[in-house]
Amino acid sequence: MKWMLVLVLAGCGSAPLAPQRVEVPVFTPCVKVAPRRPAYEFDQLTPVVKDGEIVLALVRDWLRGRKYEGELEAIIEGCLSIASPPSVHVLDLPPRSVPMASKEALQPIPPAG
């Protein structure tokens, strides 16, 4: 029984380990706020509108779309500039000899018939 008490107390004799700081990479999105998609006028037209009204709506929507595309491209460009390119390893291997096929192997196969 005494030896059990000695073993239990021996475990208390060592000092506890100090906490260690471990840095773990965590994904954080590069886009904080996505631009709001514009409400296109063409999507709200009824099927009975005249061709001229459709063309005018498409022209106005084109301008809205170009602005929206510009905002998206700016966000994508910002994300790409943050990301680091993947590392590429170039291997310099000695050239190998490639076996050539025999002339018999290159002859066309006659059709079955």
pLDDT tens for each residue of 35-49: 899 999 998 999 899
**Structural domain contains residue 49:** yes
AA identity, residue 76: I
Asked if residue 47 is part of any domain, the answer here is yes
The number of folded domains in the chain is: 1
Report the candidate in 59, 27, 26, 57 with the shortest Cα–Cα distance to residue 42.
57
Phi and psi at 83, nearest 5°, equal -70, 140
Residue 65 C-alpha from the chain's centroid? 25
**7 belongs to a structural domain:** no
Instruction: Please tell me the predicted confidence (pLDDT) of residue 92.
Output: 56
Structural domain including 44 reads 32-83
Instruction: Report if pTM > 0.75.
Output: no
Better-predicted residue by pLDDT, 76 or 113: 76
**Phi-psi map region of 45: left, alpha, beta (phi>0 left; psi -120 to 50 alpha):** beta
